[in-house]
Amino acid sequence: MSEILVLVDHVDGTVRKTTNELLTIARRLGEPSAVFIGSGEPPADALKKYGAEKVYAVDDAEIRGYLVAPKAEVLQQIAEKTSAGAVLISSSYEGKEIAARLAIKLESGLITDAVDVQAGDAASGGGPVTTQSVFAGNYTVQAKVTQGTPIITVKPNAATPEEAAGAGSVEQFAATVSDAAKAAQIVASQPRTATGRPELTEAAIVVSGGRGTGGNFEPVENLADALGAAVGASRAAVDSGWKPHSFQVGQTGKTVSPQLYVANGISGAIQHRAGMQTSKTIVAVNKDEEAPIFELVDFGVVGDLHTVLPALTEEINKR
């Protein structure tokens, strides 16, 4: 069985949920191997819990001191050494840049923003088959890489992380970094300010508000906190200055694919749908029963969000 490389997404050695999702997907395709680029001991226990058979540890200040290019070189060297069956990377801005550089280095095909990855059948030549939502969500496409090592970036929440013990044997990997890869040095970095809520693109539950909030996001935020959810917003809410652009869900904002998306006072314009329609379960609260969002939902409540959300939050908090 070929090794499926998973680039570990972590914050100072703490593995993010997206990595567990990638390891879960990797197990469908072959033998998962995690590639940890960071300082100190690799988090082998956390990685083997989700099936990592091997953990390639790369601890090199030269790599960490520069932007993405050295990481692509590390992955190239490990992929070539192991004749990897595929490389899976999280669909973050950084992940996609690493993937693009890696694809050029390996002369391989690249698929970005997969919402699902399955093993292809032997009749179609094997290899991973991905599902993507494209053209603002108007088409769902299944695709596979036909040249080189498949490089795939996978959206957060594309899989439910499932535990499965792997060997987690650590191998220190001494990578070489070219001068060209050192073209952009990190001179300072600051951690993101913690909000106490999950990151929007990674959250299992997202509660969003639109123009219908009238600028009062309190009911939306209270419901989000009761559910342990991230808060999102429509562009109308962002353009009104009620939330910063980092909260915007949609074609020109973030794409989310949570287990549960709750849209409150949002009409359901195509540009908003583009950012949330791959959510597993969609709930909407809107006072207009003709609102287009109701065409998309699994559950809909026709009502005033300022009444419905506090009642819902109170009920959840009782449990």
Interaction of residue 59 with ligand FAD, rule CB under 6 A: no
Residue 313 found at the interface with ligand FAD (CB under 6 A): no
208 is in an annotated binding site: no
Q: How many residues bind ligand FAD (CB under 6 A)?
A: 28
Does 39 belong to an annotated binding site?
no
User: Shortest gap between Cβ of 158 and ligand FAD (angstroms)?
Assistant: 21
Burial label, 100 (beta-carbon count in 10 A; 0-12, 13-18, 19+):
middle
Q: Token digits for 95? A: 């992940």
Consult the annotation and say whether 273 binds a ligand: no
State yes or no: residue 253 binds ligand FAD (CB under 6 A): yes
45 near 53, Cβ under 8 Å? no
**132 annotated as ligand-binding:** no
282 forms part of the interface with ligand FAD (CB under 6 A): no
Using rule CB under 6 A, residue 219 touches ligand FAD: no
**Helix/strand number for the chain, H first, E second:** 9, 17
Give the one residue of 78, 305, 312, 313 binding ligand FAD; rule: CB under 6 A. 305
If phi > 0 it is left, if psi is from -120 to 50 it is alpha, else beta; for residue 127 that is left
What residues contact residue 239 under an 8 Å CB cut-off, 6+ apart?
Answer: none
Q: Is 252 annotated as a binding residue?
A: yes
User: Least distance from C-beta 291 to ligand FAD, angstroms?
Assistant: 4
212/266 Cα distance (integer angstroms): 6
**Shortest distance, CB of residue 167 to ligand FAD, whole angstroms?**
44
- Taking the least distance from each CB to ligand FAD, the nearer of 137 and 150 is 137
Q: Which residues pair with 55 in a beta bridge?
A: 34, 170
Among the listed residues 94, 65, 81, the one whose alpha carbon sits nearest the alpha carbon of residue 33: 81
Could you tell me which residues are annotated as the binding site for FAD?
A: 211, 234-235, 248-252, 265-272, 286
Residues forming contacts to ligand FAD in the complex (CB under 6 A) are 210-212, 234-237, 248-253, 265-267, 269, 271-272, 275, 285-288, 291, 304-306
